[in-house]
Structure 1
Amino acid sequence: MENALEAAIKAVGTAQKFAEKIGVTPQAVSQWRRVPALRVLAVEKASGVSRHDLRPDIYPREEVAA
C-alpha cells in the first residue's frame, strides 16, 4: 500500500522534482519516514495530496455531525 509521502512524490513525478518544488534536497526527502511538520503545507501545495493524509496526527479530519 502506498503511503501519503510516496503518493506526493509520485504526483509530482520524481523525487528530484518533488524536492526541487518544496525547496529541499533529494537526500533530505530520502531520509523522511513521514513529511516533517514544517513541510506539510508545501508538500500539499506541490503535490495536491491532502495535509490530512500527509500528517493526520497534526491535521485530523473533522467529524461531520449528522
Structure 2
Amino acid sequence: MIEIVRKGAEQAGGVVSLARELGIKHTSLYRWARVPAARALEFERITGISRHDLRPDVYGAKEPPE
C-alpha cells in the first residue's frame, strides 16, 4: 500500500472503514499506485488529506502560506 493511502486509512479509522466510505473493496486500496484522480476529492473529504498532496499532477502544488 502506498504511504498516502496508509495515512488516509489511519485518518479514516482503518483500511476497511476508508474503503467502505469510498464504496470499494478494501483490497482495491492495496492495488493503487496513486490515488485515482476521480477519487481524490472524495478521499480528501474522508481523510482530510489535501487533494494537492494526493494528486499534484491534477490539482497543482499546494500554495505556501504567505
Tell me, in whole angstroms, the C-alpha distance in 1 between the residues paired with 2:33 and 2:22. 16
RMSD of equivalent CA atoms: 2.0
3-state SS in 1 of match to 2:57: coil
Going from structure 1 to structure 2, the CA distance change for 1:62 and 1:21 (only over 3 Å counts) comes to: closer
Q: % of aligned pairs identical?
A: 34
TM-score (norm 1): 0.81
Consecutive unaligned residues of structure 1, counting only runs of 5 or more, are none
Larger radius of gyration: 1
- Give the equivalent residue in structure 2 for 1:41: 41
TM-score (norm 2): 0.81
Task: Considering fraction of residues, name the structure with more helix.
Answer: 2
Going from structure 1 to structure 2, the CA distance change for 1:20 and 1:59 (only over 3 Å counts) comes to: same
Q: Which amino acid aligns with 1:54?
A: L
Consecutive unaligned residues of structure 2, counting only runs of 5 or more, are none
- Alignment length (residue pairs): 64
- Give the equivalent residue in structure 1 for 2:52: 52
Going from structure 1 to structure 2, the CA distance change for 1:52 and 1:25 (only over 3 Å counts) comes to: same
Tell me, in whole angstroms, the C-alpha distance in 2 between the residues paired with 1:50 and 1:4. 11
Consecutive aligned runs of 4 or more in structure 1 exceeding 6 Å deviation? none
8 Å Cα contact 2:35/2:54 also seen in 1: yes
